Amino acid sequence: MGDQVPLGARPAAGDRVLSGKRVVLGVCGGIAAYKAVEVCRRLGDAGAIVSPVLTRSATRFVGPLTFSALAAEPARTSLFGSEEVGAGSGAPAPAVPAARSAIPHVELGRNADAVVVVPATARLIGSYAAGISSDLLSSVLLATRAPVLLCPAMHTEMWEHPAVQDNLTLLRRRGVHVLDPAEGRLAGGDYGKGRLREPEEVVAALEAVLVDESSGTAGTVSSRADAGGTLRGVRAVVSAGGTREPLDPVRYIGNRSSGKQGYAIATELQARGAQVVLVTSSPLEPPAGVEVVGVETAAEMAEAVLGAAAGADVVVMAAAVADYRPSAPAPVKLKKSGAPVRLELVPTLDILAELGAHKRPGQVVVGFAAETATGDQLVELGRGKLESKGADLVVANDVSADGASFGSDRSAAVIVSRGSLTDLGVSDKRAVASKLVDAITDLLGAAGVPAPKKGANA
């Protein structure tokens, strides 16, 4: 099965998800094909061995030679070997020269670790769903057993057409991953749902597909987009990053939170169709389609989160909010005098406790507990926070674990609820986000949160 993945920060060097992976990059004919060039470059930068396959229509928008220059394999446009264009130089040559085979669709499909189609047009989606192999790309898709990620792009009317949605539903049911398009500017000056996701989002989604496949959690990526978005119509608020409490106009008290986990959760929720407000103090690039509210202090975080939570179905407090702040920040920079400085700290508002105390029926509130504990102790700390704050779910993570400290791309986490416990071990933050949103979705269903009619805009 497939899934749609949080578009978090890139994995650390030496731990790259795409390093050494053979990726077939399919490109269809559409104005968004120009973004596939940047996708190709980013895949190569991440260490992937890229084999570009362009449809005939794609060559009307982008040149095959461009992809050949960036990829490990010459770009291919036909089932026939004479159609390969240029010599790849963007990555080390693969051990198996799949693109030079007499039966390229079989070899490309057989040797691929993943296939990603950017953009995927309505024609390609229809052919794939119907099992029609009319060109090299559609033949590769039918010949491969590797995970497939489709990134559709088309005008809103085409995207919303029942035939296109039915084809996508069928493909998802077969295990194909789909990264739903964003809402934005389209060709011809139009505006609406159907804009291809940005290259960094495509690469992050592909990484998430491979993470799910390798960790045995396949099914989370594609299931998010099933039926046009399992959380379509759900309103969510996510907080991210660490707050800064000023000592003076120059200095502050803060923490090491990067905001990566909160961004991954916001991306996951949005990918499944939810309307997301991200309240953040982090400088990370926000995911497309998410409303962002920038804050700095705990007081600003409280005002923004509590205000947005009033109309939300889901609130996820992933931010690391300061427990204390200086009682009287200096109005001017404090000068070093050599004498001891006494600092009085006063408690900040407990945002999670406020959310739990004023939670509406059916609303899901999620807390985070950054701890330096392991095993049963970590679980007990998570359960304690669950009860004391009135939350529905708590993600307890050990920030002292190797490879899972603040700022890393992994977390050593357990998800605690009143009736269950999910131990994720040391997992990619996107996998944590996927499992958490699965649990949120289950709680929303149990609470009877109404799903909007099919076709309703997110």
Residues in a beta bridge with 27: 54
Q: Is the pLDDT of residue 101 over 70?
A: no
pLDDT confidence of 436, banded at 50, 70, 90?
Answer: very high
Distance CA 17, CA 448 (A): 38
Residues of the chain above pLDDT 70, percent: 85
- 22-216, what's its fold? Rossmann fold (3.40.50)
Distance CA 20, CA 206 (A): 14
Q: What is the pLDDT of residues 126-175, one digit of tens each?
A: 999 999 998 999 999 999 999 999 999 999 999 999 999 999 989 998 98
Residue 385: CA count within 13 A, CB half-sphere: 24
Contact 109, 144 (CB under 8 A): yes
Q: What is the pLDDT of residues 9-23, one digit of tens each?
A: 333 333 468 888 999
Q: Does 255 qualify as catalytic in the annotation?
A: yes
Question: In CATH, what number does 235-326+345-447 get?
Answer: 3.40.50.10300
Write down the domain spans for the chain.
22-216, 235-326+345-447
Determine the distance from the C-alpha atom of residue 329 to the mean position of all C-alpha atoms in its chain, rounded to a whole number.
38
Q: pLDDT at position 85, please?
A: 56
Domains 22-216 and 235-326+345-447 share a fold: yes
Q: Is the pLDDT of residue 378 over 80?
A: yes
Q: Give backbone dihedrals phi and psi of 233, rounded to 5 degrees, phi first.
A: 95, -15
Average pLDDT over residues 197-220: 75
Q: pLDDT at position 16, please?
A: 67
CB atoms within 10 A of CB 2: 31
Q: pLDDT at position 83, please?
A: 54
Q: Is the pLDDT of residue 446 over 70?
A: yes
If DSSP codes are grouped into helix, strand and coil, which group holds residue 425? strand
Average pLDDT over residues 375-401: 95
Which residues contact residue 71 at a Cβ distance below 8 angstroms, ignoring those fewer than 6 apart? 25, 40, 44, 50, 51, 52, 88, 90, 91
Average pLDDT over residues 267-286: 90
Q: What is the pLDDT of residues 49-95, one digit of tens each?
A: 999 999 999 999 999 999 999 997 899 998 865 555 554 444 444 44
Distance CA 59, CA 52 (A): 12
Average pLDDT over residues 435-439: 93
Residue type at position 261: Q
Distance CA 386, CA 397 (A): 14
Average pLDDT over residues 309-322: 97
Q: pLDDT at position 86, please?
A: 52
Which residues contact residue 128 at a Cβ distance below 8 angstroms, ignoring those fewer than 6 apart? 138, 141, 142, 150, 167, 171, 176
Pairing mode, if any, of strands 182-185 and 275-280?
unpaired
Q: Would you state the structure tokens that stand for residue 386, as one six-digit string? A: 């669950």
Its pTM stands at 0.58
Task: Determine which one of 111, 167, 255, 397 is catalytic.
Answer: 255
